[in-house]
Structure 1
Amino acid sequence: MHVMLMTYGTRGDVQPFVALGPGLIQKGHRVTLTAPERFAGFITDHDLEFTPLTDALIALMDDPQFAHASDPKASALAKLTSLFAIGKKARALQDTLLDDIFDAIDQGKPDVIVFHPKTFGALPIARHFGIPVVMAQLIPSFIPTGDYLHMGTPDLGLRDTLGRWYNRVTGKLIYRVLNATLRRQVQRWAARRQNRINAKDLDIVKSCQTGTLPIIHAFSNAVISRPKDWPTHATVTGYWFLDGTTQTNPPDPALQNFVESHKNLIYIGFGSMPGNDPTAMAEMIAKAVSQADVSAIIATGWGGMGDIDWPSNILAVREVPHDWLFPKVDIVIHHGGAGTCAAALRAGRPSIIIPFFGDQPFWAKRLHRLGVAPRPIKPAKLDAAMLARRIKTVLETTSYRNNAERIASKIADEDGIANAIAEITRAVGQSDLPKTGSL
C-alpha cells in the first residue's frame, strides 16, 4: 500500500518519520514523506519520496517576536504581547499550510495517511477523500488521563484521587479549547477554498477517544507508561530511532580527537531555540564549564553562538549526531525537546534540562521523576554558578547514571518502528470509510 507520512515542525518533528519510512518500505510498502520544504535534502538522502509543505510557519521561529516570547528576562506582559503577535501571523499562514496538505493528498492519492498533529488538516481532508488516517504523536496529548497533568496545566501539587480528577478535568478543558480552535481554522479555510470539505463536525479529541481515529505514540513505556484509563486503540509503540545511516558514522577528525582526549566531557545544546544574547550565553557557559572543571562540546545551533571565541576546553560544532556522541559524554545539557530527551535516555546518560516552553517543561519534569536528571533549571534563574553546581552534582551522584542506564536497557528491548507498522496496518484493515472525494 501507499503510505503518506505527514509531519510539520523542526528537525525533532521530522526525524522520527524519516526513521519510520524505511521500516515501511522493508515491509513492501510505498512511502511518501510530506514535510516542510527545508527538510527536502534530509528526507531524500534517506531514499524517501518527498512532497513539500510550506516553510512559512517554521520561519516564524526566526521572527524577533518569537525570541522575545521565549526570553526568560522579558516581563509576562511582554511575552504575552509577543505571543499574540506570533499567533496572529501563524493564523494567517495556516491557510497556506492547509492548501499544501490538500494538494499533497489530492496529488499523492495514498492508501493511508499517518499524520503529526501539527498537520491536523489531514484528518478532515483525508476523510473527505475516504482515506484511512492514523495520528502519530511524539508527546502524550489529545487523550485525557488521570495519570499526569496536561503540559499546559498548572501543577497545584494535588495527589491521589483528587489529583487524578484534576488531571482529567483540566486536560479535557484544554482539549476542548484546542479542538474548537482547530475546527474554526479548517472551517474558515474550507469556506474560502469552496472544496466541499465538511469541518462542521471536526472533533479530533472525540475521534481519539472513540476510536474512529487510531493514535500511536512514539515514545517508550519505560519513560511514560501507557495510562490504564486510555482507550484500547491508543497505543505506545516505543521510540522511532533513525539507525543504520551515515548519522552513526564517526564525524570529522577534530571532533573525534576532542572526544578521545578529554575526560569529564559534557554536551550542551538547545536545538532550534532562539537566543537574544548569544555572547552573554556563551560567556556564562564557558564560566560554568571552567568552574565545574569539565570539558564540553557545544552545539551552536542555538542563537548564533557559532561566532564565539571559545576556550580550549570547549569545542563548538554546528551540529553533531546524537546517537554517535551521547554515549561518549557524561552529561547531556539541553532544552528538553522530545528528540533530545529520547537520545539521551537511549544512550543511558543523565540530563540537565533548561526548559523554555511548549512540551519542554513536561519532559524536564518527567526525566527528573525518572531519576535521570536533577530538578529543571528555570531559564530566568540560569547562571554560571548554578549550572556548575548542577554539573558537579550529577557527576558525583551515581544514581543519575545508573537510572539512565537502566532505562536505556528497557528502551533497547523495544521495537518502536515494528510496533508502529503493525498498528498502521491494523488501522487500514479495520477502516470502512466511504470515499466521498474525487481521488
Structure 2
Amino acid sequence: ANAIVADDGRVNISINQKSHRLSQLFVPQLQRQLSQVNLEPAPPPAYVPEFLGGKPGQEPPPPMNIVIHVVGSRGDVQPFVALGKVLKETYNHRVRLATHPTFKDFVTENGLEFFSIGGDPAELMAFMVKNPGLMPGFDTLRSGDVGQRRKGIGEILRGTWRSCIETGDGLSGDPLKQTPFVADAIIANPPSFGHVHCAEKLGIPLHMMFT
C-alpha cells in the first residue's frame, strides 16, 4: 500500500492487495453508518427572528448576494463550503465562494458559485512553514521569497475586490452572458486580507471568522 498527498491537500491511498479481509472489515462499518444517516430526522425549518419577519404570515428577509473570502488550504475552505450551503439552501441567499483556483471543482460540485482570487495554497503553506515567526528569516529575504509573496498577496487583494463586483468566475467565460453580482455582505477568514477594505468601500457588513 502507498499514500500520496495531492496538491489540494487530499491523500490518495492505494491498497495493492487482492485479499477480501479489508472489505470484510470496512463494509459492515460503512453499512452501519449509512443506516444511522438514513434514520436521522429532517432538519427543522430555519429560525428567523421576529424582527426580521419571523412571525407567521410575515414575509421572510430578502435574499442577499453573499461573497465568502477564503485563503488557505482545503481544510480552511471546507467549513465555509458547509456554511455557504446552509445560507443558500436554507435561507435562499446567493452565495459566491471566492478562493484559490485549485478549489474550483470542490466549490462548484457542492452547488456554490466560485470566483478565483488567485494565489497558490501550496506556495503559501510552504512559506508559512519556512517562516513560522512574525518576521521572515534572513535566508528568505536573500532568496527573494518575500518579493514573490508580495506579488501573491497583491493578486489576492485584487481578487477579493473583483469577487465583490464582477460577473463570472474570475477565470474565463463571457461575463455578458452571466448574472451580474454585487455583494451585499462579506464573510471572510482573516488571511484573505482584502475583506475589510472591500466592505469599507462598498459600505456593507463584514463577518470575519476562523475555522
TM range (shorter): 0.5 to 0.7
| Match of residue 201, structure 2, among 128, 132, 137 | 128
Structure-1 residue corresponding to 2:147? 88
Structure-1 residue corresponding to 2:161? 102
Higher relative contact order (CA 8 A, sep 6+): 2
Change in 2 beyond 3 A, CA 1:67/1:22: closer
Question: Aligned partner of 1:80: which letter?
Answer: G
Paired with 1:90 and 1:106, the residues of 2 have a C-alpha distance of: 25
Shift of residue 62, structure 1, vs aligned partner: 8.0
Residues 4 and 34 in structure 1, CA contact (< 8 A), matched pair in contact too: yes
Using structure 1 for the length normalisation, give the TM-score: 0.27
SS in 1 for 2:209: strand
Q: Deviations over 1:283-337 (max 9, x none)?
A: xxxxxxxxxxxxxxxxxxxxxxxxxxxxxxxxxxxxxxxxxxxxxxxxxxxxxxx
Shift of residue 137, structure 1, vs aligned partner: 1.7
| Match of residue 130, structure 2, among 41, 48, 69 | 69
Residues 119 and 153 in structure 2, CA contact (< 8 A), matched pair in contact too: no
Structure-1 residue corresponding to 2:68? 5
1:115 pairs with 2:179: no
Shift of residue 120, structure 1, vs aligned partner: 1.9
Shift of residue 67, structure 1, vs aligned partner: 9.4
Question: Aligned partner of 2:78: which letter?
Answer: Q
Residues 24 and 31 in structure 1, CA contact (< 8 A), matched pair in contact too: yes
Shift of residue 44, structure 1, vs aligned partner: 0.5
Matches within 5 A, 1:386-405: none
Residues 99 and 117 in structure 2, CA contact (< 8 A), matched pair in contact too: yes
* Alignment RMSD (CA, Å): 2.7
Residues 54 and 100 in structure 1, CA contact (< 8 A), matched pair in contact too: yes
Question: Aligned partner of 1:38: which letter?
Answer: T
Shift of residue 39, structure 1, vs aligned partner: 0.1
Residues 105 and 126 in structure 1, CA contact (< 8 A), matched pair in contact too: no
Paired with 1:62 and 1:128, the residues of 2 have a C-alpha distance of: 30
Question: Aligned partner of 2:193: which letter?
Answer: F
Count residues with an aligned counterpart: 129
Structure-2 residue corresponding to 1:197? none
Structure-1 residue corresponding to 2:23? none
Paired with 2:145 and 2:165, the residues of 1 have a C-alpha distance of: 30
Shift of residue 93, structure 1, vs aligned partner: 2.0
Change in 2 beyond 3 A, CA 1:48/1:59: same
Using structure 2 for the length normalisation, give the TM-score: 0.54
- Structure 2: stretches of 5+ with no match in the other structure: 1-63, 167-180
Paired with 2:139 and 2:80, the residues of 1 have a C-alpha distance of: 31
Paired with 1:118 and 1:68, the residues of 2 have a C-alpha distance of: 15
Structure-2 residue corresponding to 1:368? none
Question: Aligned partner of 1:109: which letter?
Answer: V
Paired with 1:59 and 1:18, the residues of 2 have a C-alpha distance of: 20
Paired with 2:145 and 2:193, the residues of 1 have a C-alpha distance of: 19
Question: Aligned partner of 1:99: which letter?
Answer: R
Q: Deviations over 1:52-92 (max 9, x none)?
A: 11134x242586xx49827xxxxxxxx82344443332123
1:39 pairs with 2:103: yes
Question: Aligned partner of 1:87: which letter?
Answer: V
Structure-2 residue corresponding to 1:329? none
Paired with 1:67 and 1:52, the residues of 2 have a C-alpha distance of: 22
Change in 2 beyond 3 A, CA 1:87/1:24: same
Structure-2 residue corresponding to 1:21? 84
Residues 67 and 163 in structure 2, CA contact (< 8 A), matched pair in contact too: no
SS in 1 for 2:137: helix
Paired with 2:97 and 2:129, the residues of 1 have a C-alpha distance of: 33
SS in 1 for 2:150: helix
- Structure 1: stretches of 5+ with no match in the other structure: 71-78, 139-439
Q: Deviations over 1:385-435 (max 9, x none)?
A: xxxxxxxxxxxxxxxxxxxxxxxxxxxxxxxxxxxxxxxxxxxxxxxxxxx
Change in 2 beyond 3 A, CA 1:28/1:68: closer
Which structure has greater helix proportion? Answer: 1
Change in 2 beyond 3 A, CA 1:16/1:80: same
Residues 69 and 82 in structure 1, CA contact (< 8 A), matched pair in contact too: no
Matches within 5 A, 1:230-245: none
SS in 2 for 1:137: coil
Change in 2 beyond 3 A, CA 1:49/1:86: same
Paired with 1:35 and 1:92, the residues of 2 have a C-alpha distance of: 17
Paired with 1:82 and 1:132, the residues of 2 have a C-alpha distance of: 41
Shift of residue 101, structure 1, vs aligned partner: 1.1
Matches within 5 A, 1:249-398: none
